[in-house]
Amino acid sequence: MGRGVRVLLVEDDAQLGKALLRSLVQAGYETRWARTLAGGDLLLRTQAFEILLLDLGLPDGSGLELLRALRRRQDRTPVLILTAQDSVQDRVRGLDEGADDYQVKPFAVPELLSRIRALVRRSAGFAARRWVMGDLALDPEARTVTLREAPVDLAPREFQVLHLLSLNAGRVVTRAQLEETLFALGAEPESNAIEVHIHHLRRKLGAERIRTVRGLGYLLEGA
């Protein structure tokens, strides 16, 4: 499921941060790691992420400060708090400040990955593993797509584009967001690559399913 999903990890512990980064990348998540509150805030202001994994005890302040700032500017990025603070009061405070989930350290990586998958599904408006959008269905983990129950053969990058559009079904996805998903950090985007992938998806799924919003980007029509 991780392909095309961008994760921001804000964690100051070097050993834990390296281990989590390795596990997230192995699971297919495009992951950035910040070790301070300020570093995390800068990345959130300049890049788009599907989920934020947030430690509370950071060297330059509490992760709750970043959470409050995020919600004040109406940023709805799902937030999963990672912390050793395990009292009921701590959990209630974090959730009341706007967190979507709360994971107490130490934890098992498979459970964390399961919580991430659940948050990504919910933020996209899906409750089940298989995302159904009218007669179109996408399974992020199996990386399969069906249209009117018939399998659709997509190239890897076509699947990535459709996955990101599905995460934001009914909302505009900008060209910059698509390029961030398709091309590694620092890699030069291929000329007209986005248009080519959109063209192929329209041919396979129907021209009316993906709408161009002039000057903004592309929108996958909802169910």
Per the prediction, the chain carries an average pLDDT of 86
pLDDT given for residue 27 in this prediction: 87
pLDDT given for residue 222 in this prediction: 63
The CB density around residue 36, as the number of other CB atoms within 10 Å, is 15
Structure tokens at 76: 């709805």
pLDDT given for residue 3 in this prediction: 56
Contact indicator for 44, 67 with CB cutoff of 8 Å: no
pLDDT at 6 over 50: yes
Helices and strands per DSSP (H, E), number in the chain? 8, 14
More confident residue, 223 or 162: 162
Helical (H) or strand (E) element with 79: strand 79-83
> Which region among 120-124, 151-155, 165-169, 205-209 has the lowest average model confidence (pLDDT)?
120-124
Query: pLDDT band at residue 223, thresholds of 50, 70 and 90?
Result: low
pLDDT given for residue 128 in this prediction: 56
pLDDT at 152 over 90: yes
pLDDT given for residue 139 in this prediction: 84
**Model pLDDT for residues 156-181, shown as the tens digit of each residue:** 889 989 988 887 777 888 888 888 77
The pLDDT > 90 percentage for the chain reads: 37
DSSP β-bridge partners for residue 138 = 131, 145
More confident residue, 130 or 110: 110
Identity of residue 76 = R
Residue with tokens 């995390």, as numbered in its chain: 40
**Model pLDDT for residues 43-99, shown as the tens digit of each residue:** 998 888 889 999 998 999 999 999 999 999 888 889 999 988 777 788 888 888 889
Domains belonging to the chain, first-starting first, are 6-123 (3.40.50.2300), 131-220 (1.10.10.10)
- The phi and psi torsions of 120 (rounded to 5 degrees) equal -65, -40
Contact indicator for 141, 1 with CB cutoff of 8 Å: yes
